[in-house]
Amino acid sequence: MRRESREKVFQTLFLMDALGVGPDEAIPLFALTSPAPTDGEYYLETVRGVWERRQEIDALIGKAAEHWRVERMALVDRNILRLGAYEIRYGRDIPFAVAINEAVDLGKRFGAEESGAFVNGILDRICELMRKKTEGKA
């Protein structure tokens, strides 16, 4: 199930950010404490994709979060936003609404009381930016 795999992606991204390691170190570490994701292909592709594009993703988050610097965001929120922004920007088969809803659910489950609303607002703004970018090319 994609939802369970998405949660494991978030947890791995959190681990990478907290420890300052890349996917080659984090994926085996995470596997020691958690059963394999049900959608292993999605899990690996997404963890590596976020890692490889994190500067671009962080720039997109920073643009959408007008008064917040990405490096000052809570670790949980930052990594949920990275996952959501990656799915919005690069998820070929993931509708924007699904990416946002799943990220908000992660925020409510793992974040602070206001994390769901914070994540929702920033990812909604990223969707607006992506639509404007697409319309500008038309």
Q: Domain limits of the chain? A: 2-137
Q: What pLDDT score was predicted for residue 136?
A: 67
What is the residue whose two structure tokens read 């962080």?
A: 58
Superfamily of domain 2-137: NusB-like (1.10.940.10)
Q: How far is CA 112 from CA 34, 61, 62, in A?
A: 23, 19, 20
Distance CA(14)–CA(94), nearest Å, equals 22
Name the stretches of the chain with pLDDT < 50.
Answer: 138
Q: What pLDDT score was predicted for residue 137?
A: 58
DSSP character at residue 53: T
pTM: 0.94
Apex 79 CA angle, 20 and 95, nearest 5:
140
Contacts of 81 (CB under 8 A, 6+ apart): 61, 65, 70, 73, 103, 119, 122, 123
Distance CA(119)–CA(40), nearest Å, equals 25
- CA dihedral in degrees (126, 131, 136, 137; nearest 10)? 110
